[in-house]
Amino acid sequence: MKIMLRQERGKRDRVLQELLGRTDHPTAEELYLTLREKGEEISLATVYRALRSLAEEGLVATLPIAPADRFDPTTRPHYHFHCLRCDRVFDLDLPYKPELDRASEKLGFSVYHHTLVFHGLCPACQEKTRRVE
Amino acid sequence: MKIMLRQERGKRDRVLQELLGRTDHPTAEELYLTLREKGEEISLATVYRALRSLAEEGLVATLPIAPADRFDPTTRPHYHFHCLRCDRVFDLDLPYKPELDRASEKLGFSVYHHTLVFHGLCPACQEKTRRVE
DNA sequence: CTGAGCATGATTTTCATTGTCATTATACCT
DNA sequence: AGGTATAATGACAATGAAAATCATGCTCAG
């Protein structure tokens, strides 16, 4: 007989509750420090684990802000496709749409440019997935 | 008298040339390994330095693919604004546009969702910048 | 109550990136 | 050409974030 999923994952829930109460997109360490300040006894490792599992289950999202570890020789603005299966990134031959900036400028932001990434399956991985099923 | 900018930055140019010849958005280490395989005598630190300076000068771009180090409690699709000055990230109250996916689907990709980030100055930083000038 | 399996904390390990520093190369001036 | 200031490079150390490991303790079904 299978063991049921434990409902009592106290620390994980505390991490989730803390994150739900904020709008500043914190890192694992920032959440950890806040929780400790609030008197919660929790370890940094648990915060990392909690966030990872919450993100895997889709209860929490990670930010789509650019990291600096992969480079693109094309500086002309263009969009990307990110394959969730093979992790490759493709340059897309689509027109850049500066008019998208207008909407956020109406909210008071001064927009220099934007980045747009589509996530899904590339043609090769669609093929592979089809064969497996 | 000022010293002029040096034109001869051999290794940096080799890094740039190698990157220009690829479409696979490599990391610093991947570029380093390729260069060594091609017989280039170069150190990993130099590749990192070259890429960083090329990116700062805008000769090369970094990828806008999501890293996993900042978390967002809102899983409903929504867009973000990233302030280039204070580095804060704001959730934007804008409608999600699934119709954007159509264009990349025409190119053969299977799109699950997309991420859109606007980059510029937030209202507070626009104010600060105005005062400095 | 008991024990199998999961959750947690403490610690170590890994690995990517950056910093440091000594050395070499280059450009500018005389 | 020679001298020197400055930049570029390489080798290595240091840093730091994230993950892995491992021992302990908790939970729940029986």
How distant is C1' of C12 from CA of B133, in Å?
50
The reply to whether A74 falls in a domain is: no
* Nearest residue for C8, CA–C1': A46
Residue A35 lies in a domain: yes
Whether residue B27 lies inside any domain: the answer is yes
Angle, CA A117 vertex, CA A112 and CA A122 arms, to 5°: 155
pLDDT digits (tens, 9 = 90+) for A11-24: 999 999 999 999 99
SS3 assignment for chain B? CCCCCCCCCHHHHHHHHHHHCCCCCCCHHHHHHHHHHCCCCCCHHHHHHHHHHHHHCCCCEECCCCCCCCEECCCCCCEEEEECCCCCEEEECCCCCCCHHHHHHHCCCEEEEEEEEEEEECHHHHHHHHHHC
B112 contacts A117? CB cut-off 8 A: no
Tokens of B109: 């990709």
Instruction: Judge: A62–B67 Cβ closer than 8 Å, yes or no.
Output: yes
Domain of residue A38: give its range: 10-56
Whose CB is within 7 A of strand C? Answer: A 3, 6, 9-12, 41-46, 49-50, 68-69; B 1, 3-4, 6-8, 10, 27-29, 44-45, 48, 52
On whether residue B85 sits in a domain, the answer given is: yes
Q: What is the pLDDT of residues A43-65, one digit of tens each?
A: 999 999 999 999 999 999 999 98
Q: What is the pLDDT of residue B133?
A: 61
| Single-letter code of the amino acid located at B75 | T
Q: What is the pLDDT of residues B39-75, one digit of tens each?
A: 999 999 999 999 999 999 999 999 998 888 999 999 8
Q: What is the pLDDT of residues B106-117, one digit of tens each?
A: 999 999 999 999
- A128 plus A83 within the same structural domain: yes
CATH code of A16's domain = 1.10.10.10
Nucleotides in chain D with any atom closer than 7 Å to protein CB: 5-13, 17-21, 26-30
Q: B17 in contact with A at a CB cutoff of 8 Å? A: no
Q: How many domains, in total, are found in chain A?
A: 2
Residues A47 and A89 in one domain: no
Q: Does B44 touch chain A (CB under 8 A)?
A: no
Measured between CA atoms, how close is B130 to chain A, in angstroms? 12
Non-local (6+) Cβ contacts of A116 within 8 A are: A79, A80, A100, B64, B100, B114, B115, B116, B117
- Whether residue B68 lies inside any domain: the answer is no
Q: In CATH, what number is assigned to the domain containing residue B86?
A: 3.30.1490.190
Same domain? B87 vs B50: no
pTM, rounded to two decimals: 0.86
Helix (H) or strand (E) holding A115: strand A110-121
